[in-house]
Structure 1
């Protein structure tokens, strides 16, 4: 085949060029595509989703922002209601951190690149942006089931993700395995849920948290 020249390049007709220019003009004038709506996904108790009250979700989000620091990264493992508070702009400083939500429920893919599909039965199968070890300044976890088997697997995920700071919310009955697996202490702050749950819930932290006192 001979070497191509400018004369061989495909060319559009004048009519096609005019139509293409009109398309570009319309595109540039169009409003930007809407982003996903944080809060559009609601809890589904059939999937063991029991979300925090607004007060608790806000308090936990404030704690995460404070402990992550400027430009910090936050991972919310099975805690989407706290992730929502971080993204809704209701927490001071939330615009200075980044956050992802790890969830089994694929409805949360509506949250775009912040969503990480997560099955606690495969605790170290973590696609981006959670694939890098020790890449989050603080990790909040709320295991979906009150069992040592579930907590043990979620703890593997937490230890992999966290640079050090861990905030755990789970049933009070999990205090001993939580301390053993993650080195956490019980906080005085008592989390509440949108639905009144019969289980006694607690927060645990492995650092000097304001929630401890």
Structure 2
């Protein structure tokens, strides 16, 4: 056969080419963080298109330490839509606790069996290895400020936890005030607002608060 003419060479559509470029860019940016060290921290960055607004380092560390203290040695922690806390927990190199990330963002699949794909629209859709009420504490941050999202995420939380809940969410949005948000959270999960105020890496229009259903260190000064 002779050489192909230029017109005979298959050409990608502009849409396919863009998708391919994005794939390789993401692959280069987010290399496998695991390797031989299961606690290596990946370089996954927040994605606003997935409604990701991550905590700053101080808040992520405070919440991670709180979860470890509550779970105790040999405990199990579920991070529901809280990827920055999950990555901080990995960074702390704690082998005495088991940590799982329940997340819509499939980039977190690089963390292997610790990643559980999670869509709040299907709040109880989990693989068979996720046993009901098998986590000592669930730390959750619903991805959207809506009553529907909070309600569905609450179903997930109640399914996963033995009893301890740490909820982080905005005090505005569809809710007219923090008092209304506090009322909704209390009704759905029997949690109370903490003194500790979580901060994010970027300035958000909505004030965020933490809510718990146990005697928490977040109610005291560091």
CA RMSD of aligned residues (A): 1.6
- Please give the alpha-carbon distance, in whole angstroms, between the structure 2 residues aligned to 1:128 and 1:191: 33
- Asked whether the 8 Å contact 1:136–1:163 carries over to 2, the reply is yes
Q: What secondary structure sits across from 1:42 in the alignment?
A: coil
In structure 2, the residue matched to 1:198 is 205
Which structure's CA Rg is the greater one? 1
Q: How many Å apart are 1:188 and its aligned residue?
A: 0.3
2:85 corresponds to 1:82: yes
CA offsets 1:72-117 (integer angstroms, 9 cap, x no match) = 0000000011011111126xxx321110000011111011110000
Q: How many Å apart are 1:40 and its aligned residue?
A: 2.1
CA offsets 1:126-177 (integer angstroms, 9 cap, x no match) = 1254x21000000000000011100000000000000000000001232221
In structure 2, the residue matched to 1:143 is 142
Q: How many Å apart are 1:33 and its aligned residue?
A: 4.9
Q: How many Å apart are 1:184 and its aligned residue?
A: 0.4
Distance 1:176 1:107, change over 3 A: same
How many aligned positions are there?
178
- Under a length normalisation based on structure 2, what TM-score does the superposition of the two structures give? 0.77
- Please give the alpha-carbon distance, in whole angstroms, between the structure 2 residues aligned to 1:83 and 1:177: 26
2:83 corresponds to 1:67: no
- Please give the alpha-carbon distance, in whole angstroms, between the structure 2 residues aligned to 1:35 and 1:136: 24
- Please give the alpha-carbon distance, in whole angstroms, between the structure 2 residues aligned to 1:80 and 1:111: 11
Is there any run of 5+ residues in structure 1 with no aligned partner, and where? 1-31
In structure 2, the residue matched to 1:41 is 44
- Please give the alpha-carbon distance, in whole angstroms, between the structure 1 residues aligned to 2:52 and 2:95: 26
In structure 2, the residue matched to 1:122 is 122
- Under a length normalisation based on structure 1, what TM-score does the superposition of the two structures give? 0.80
Q: How many Å apart are 1:34 and its aligned residue?
A: 4.0
- Please give the alpha-carbon distance, in whole angstroms, between the structure 1 residues aligned to 2:128 and 2:104: 15
